[in-house]
Structure 1
Amino acid sequence: MSTSAVIIFAVCITFVSSFDPTVHPANPFNAVADAETLGAAFQLQYAGEVTIINLLTKRAIKQRLNITKAYNELYNRDLMADLHEKFHGELDYAIASLMSPVLDYYAKEIHYAVAGWGTTEDILIEILTILNNNEMKALATRYEQLYGRSLKSDVEDDTSGNFQVLLSMMINGERSEAAYNEQQCFADNKAIFEKREALMKTEKWVIVTYEKKYKDFGITVAEVLGTRSYNHLKVCFNKYRASYGEHFEDHVIGVFSKFWSKNLKKTLLAIAHVVHTKFGYLAKRLYDSMDPKNMNYRTLTRIIVSRSGVDLGGIKKEFELMYSTKLETMVAHWTSGNYQKFLLSLVQN
């Protein structure tokens, strides 16, 4: 079995519990016939683009890889290079993303986020928050295969403080797989509440004491949210409210947001959102990406492409519940041309 096939197989296995794709394997399927269709489409202009989009968006990733192999052998050319020459802008990025197995795609996105000047933290937060331990370990392995550097080292080199500590915990796969531990939950909630109260009572002018308590509190919250299972945290959030009369997100994360870095706050809130509903978190990311004042085509493309073969069906349902409109309706409104056709072909069952 090829490396790519192993990767795809691993991703399918880890995502099986929430499997609700919008893109399914074509049946019947003939890789050579599809390669010939692509070869003819490259000779056309606009109509050729539509043909390529309609074909590739209606094939599963294993089938796309088989088509790539058939095309390269049939024409003695590189399909990815020909696609890059055919498409431009957002559509070029979208097509290239579609042709990558999910782990390869995520590895490339993280590398993009940490390479060059600055770091695109939202990409790191999104990808690292939604993966479980097995997926994280597979991603770390694939990242090192592609770039010859460890995922952890590259992320740590471009982040700092408790934000870095939290991401490192997640990359290490330190999150427990246990469903729920009552004693651990009680201890976590008690520790967080008591350290929060101690911090609130400390005079800010006592700088050394205040900074020590503040740092200690941040580490405690990061450790709990970065290492406990999502099922465990969901119960603990409910018990925190029952015990202290406050929502965990507001009482713990919200109150101290002005003291913590914006990226630490974003990560903690992302984890809390995924704890309640991963579909809801990704639905919000999609909705926010279509802000007319600040369209984020990369995020819009990444989520739709990467989840279309996994659970985009569930995300679509949550999107409609949250925003009282269909995902495809918003995509159609805020995009245009063949890029719109590409996204809608993936979104619609």
Structure 2
Amino acid sequence: MMILQEFFPEAAQIAYKMWEISAMTRVQLRGTVRPYQNFDPASDAQALRKAMKGFGTDEDTIIDIVAQRSNAQRQEIRQTFKSLLGRDLMADLKSELSKNLQRLILGLMMTPAEFDAKMMKKAMEGAGTDEHALIEILATRSNQEIQDLCSAYQNGYKKSLEDAIASDTSGHFKRILISLAQGAREEDPADMARALEDAQELADACNADSGDMEDKFMSILCTRSFPHLRRVFQEFVRCSNRDIEQIIKKEMSGDVKNAMFAIVRSVKNQPSYFADRLYKAMKGLGTDDRALIRIMVSRSEIDLFNIRKEFKETHDASLHEFIQGDTSGDYRKTLLILCGGED
């Protein structure tokens, strides 16, 4: 141990320890939306129809039902609405609601795969590309979620997700996204001997020319399992005396840097990564509503409770307070139900 101390500057020792803690911590992931106890799809379907029938819309009823059912229950409501009333619930909701409330309610009513596909499509539509959205989705979903997303994209837009990415992005960034879109990340636990090799390869790549560095980082960061990468990033500190985040910030730029950074942040602490994305969506002037809706909808049953906790710890204000101050009306009301409480 003494030798380690001698060659290991203090900052690197702290970083090494941080990765150790991140590898050992077992976090219980919790969503904020749970299945509704006395669920009755037929009465929900009829209540929704009544809320939209005739003149004026009863938004309160729509919000109370949609925001307080699990996604699986919402899918039952969609089917029951069609079989019971012969109508398309999505089309009805679309014609009755508008703006952000409409986007949020429709997002909740889609399956997670349909919603991810829609968000990917929106990120690539029109003149500009929302690279942050592409990175956020592809860097944080499991293999199964990515495979489901690819099928939903193909079904919904009659084009493969890979082709869409290829025609909308370029260079190293395109290759990173296409690699992630395969949904073929390894799922093995950490292999210490291999983690040492991977870490050394990354450290060596940092001393090579930049093109080669990005390729090497991609080949490891986009394919290894998260538990394995935790160990790789820990050993990387030992090999290079620097933390992987520092290297990415210093040596990379633009979308490639953002993508690599998102993977590292997700490996370290995914709820913290999402808390940061939410903060960026709401801080300063104007709100990135698309990002806000995307994260609140997609994480509500997975880890939104943990995201809330990280948000509070990092920003000295609760997610609830931020939403309260940044949004309004029925849109705010729905987001606050999803948020599930003040911290």
Q: TM-score, normalised by structure 1?
A: 0.84
In the TM superposition, what are the counterparts of 1:1-349 in structure 2 within 5 Å? 19-43=29-53, 48-198=58-208, 213-250=209-246, 252-257=247-252, 260=253, 262-348=254-340
Q: Are the equivalent residues in 2 in contact too, given 1:21–1:309 (CA < 8 A)?
A: yes
Residue type of the alignment partner of 2:332: Q
Aligned partner of 1:209 in structure 2 is none
User: 2:222 aligns to what SS in structure 1?
Assistant: helix
TM-score where L is the length of structure 2 = 0.86
Distance 1:343 1:82, change over 3 A: same
Structure 1 residues 145, 47: closer, same or farther in 2, change over 3 A? closer
Say if 1:118 and 1:158, in contact at 8 Å, map to a contact too. Answer: no
Structure 1 position 105, deviation (Å): 0.3
CA apart distance, 1:46: 7.5
- What is the distance in 2 between the residues matched to 1:159 and 1:83? 33
Return the offset for 1:130.
0.4
Q: Which amino acid aligns with 2:249?
A: G
The one-letter code of the counterpart of 2:138 is L
Between Structure 1 and Structure 2, how many residues are aligned?
Answer: 315
SS of the aligned residue for 1:58 comes to coil
Q: Is the 8 A contact 1:292 1:334 kept in 2?
A: no
SS at 1:277 equivalent: helix
Worse-superposed segment, 316-325 or 156-165: 316-325
Percent sequence identity is 32
Matched letter for residue 281 of structure 2: S
Counterpart Cα distance in 1 of 2:80 and 2:318: 37
- Give the Cα–Cα distance (whole angstroms) in 2 for the partners of residues 35 and 138 of structure 1: 27
Q: In 1, are the aligned partners of 2:150 and 2:160 still within 8 Å (CA)? A: yes
For residues 87-123 of structure 1, the C-alpha deviation after alignment (integer angstroms, 9 at most, x for no partner) is 1111111111011010110011112222333322111
Letter aligned with residue 64 of structure 1: R
Q: Distance in 2 between matches of 1:172 and 1:64?
A: 28
Give the aligned residue type for 1:254.
Answer: K
Q: Shift of the alpha carbon at 1:47?
A: 7.4
Question: Is the CA contact 1:181–1:232 (under 8 Å) kept in the aligned structure 2?
Answer: yes
Amino acid at match of 1:159: T
In terms of mean alpha carbon deviation, does 176-185 or 271-280 score higher?
Answer: 176-185
> Does the 8 A contact of 1:174 with 1:226 survive in 2?
no
Letter in 2 for 1:66: E
Query: How many Å separate the matches in 1 of 2:33 and 2:337?
Result: 9
In 1, Cα distance between equivalents of 2:46 and 2:249: 56
Shift of residue 189, structure 1, vs aligned partner:
2.3
- In the alignment, residue 183 of structure 2 is paired with which amino acid? G
Matched residues in 1 for 2:211 and 2:259: separation? 17
Q: Residues 97 and 263 from structure 1, CA distance in 2 versus in 1: closer, same or farther, beyond 3 angstroms?
A: same
Supply the distance in 1 between the matched residues of 2:85 and 2:196 (Cα, whole angstroms). 64
Structure 1 SS opposite 2:42: helix
Distance 1:44 1:292 in 2: 41
CA distance in 2 between counterparts of 1:30 and 1:189 reads 53
Give the whole-Å Cα distance in 2 for the aligned partners of 1:31 and 1:76. Answer: 15
Q: Counterpart amino acid of 2:287?
A: M
- The one-letter code of the counterpart of 1:247 is D
Q: Which consecutive residues of structure 2, in runs of 5 or more, have no partner in the other structure?
A: 1-26
Cα root mean square deviation, aligned: 2.0
3-state SS of 1:140 partner: helix
1:302-336: CA deviations, max 9, x gaps? Answer: 11111112221121122222223221121111111
| Change beyond 3 A, Cα 1:73–1:279 | same
Unpaired runs of 5+ residues, structure 1, are 1-16, 199-212
